[in-house]
Amino acid sequence: MPARAAEKGLKPLPAVPEGASTQVLLTDDVVNAAEFLDLASELQARILYFDSTTFTAEGFAVLDEELDPGIDKMNLTAQDRRELGLLRGDAHTRDGQISEVEMCFVAAGMNHRWVKEAPWHADLQARWSGFLEDLHLSAAMRAQDAHTRAKAEAGRIAALLAERPDFRAATKRSRFYGIADEAYPPPSTGNAEQLHQHRITIDRATDQAMALVDTTAHRIYTGYERDFDALTDEITQQDVLAAAGTVAARNLLLREYLTRKSGGYPPPKRFMELLMLHPQLRRPRQTQTALA
């Protein structure tokens, strides 16, 4: 290159000035090297700046989790490792070779730059970019799969919790969570991430189970409320309040009866208030028996 530049009356200088905000950038697909030298000569440039980049395989295809948090080297698949090994192997065969050539001249106060990348280097870079893209996609898919599995596991646990009599009978939020923690303790050998995921799954399952219990209880007691007369007749006929001598005792016996009748769902406070005000249940059971 220096010799050809000298033939065109240009003084070769092995350094390229910093890129200017306004410049003309030409690549090999627009003009080749010889045509660029001809252009420099036609525009009466005096100096031809040139430089080249030497490829170093050691710094190529390096996975850096700090620079790219989306990459987890510990979770590379066997196929990922094979592809990475092939890529690094091909890179080492090019170690020390020139990967890019750049020329520049100044004419009319403007930089004219010409850049050509070696085809093998462009191919390596494309393969590396494709590898990283696939790796990120795989990581995203693994994360999505893990999310789907965790969601399904939470749903499974929620259904089991909602079937437990003690869970249905719980009235305080802390009790719901306590039952879930006792039934599904964290893994004894789990790492911090696994323990965190377990906590998320159990909390999600508990919330879902509470919602299931609440929905079912609401449906059951709404049905009872639509036919209070039939319910109170049943309570009277079965002598549910026979042993109740006080309002508190009547309240307790009714709650126990309704919890058994509903399949383990305690009656809501509002339902109990309405039921206790029903004419058939406003008097102690002794009076009801005497009237019968």
The domain ranges of the chain are 2-143, 227-291
Q: Which residues contact 132 (CB under 8 A, 6 or more apart)?
A: 68, 71
Q: How far is CA 281 from CA 242, 246, 261, 268, 286, in A?
A: 11, 12, 17, 17, 11
Supply the DSSP string of 12-23, one letter for each residue. Answer: EES--PPPPSSE
First to last CA, the chain: 120
Query: Per-residue confidence of the chain (292 residues) as pLDDT tens digits?
Result: 778 888 888 998 998 887 666 788 888 888 999 999 999 999 999 999 999 999 999 989 887 655 555 566 666 778 888 888 899 999 999 999 999 999 999 998 889 999 999 999 999 999 998 888 888 777 667 677 778 888 899 999 999 999 999 999 898 999 999 999 999 999 887 778 788 889 999 999 999 999 999 999 999 999 998 888 898 888 888 888 887 778 888 888 888 989 999 988 999 888 988 888 887 776 554 444 444 4
Helix segments in the chain, DSSP class H:
2-7, 33-42, 78-93, 119-162, 165-169, 173-183, 192-226, 228-237, 247-262, 269-276, 285-291
Structure tokens at 130: 């494709």
Radius of gyration of the chain (CA): 40
Instruction: Note whether 252 and 266 are within 8 A (CB).
Output: no
pLDDT at 289: 44
Q: Which residues contact 289 (CB under 8 A, 6 or more apart)?
A: 239, 242
Residue 171, SS3 per DSSP = coil
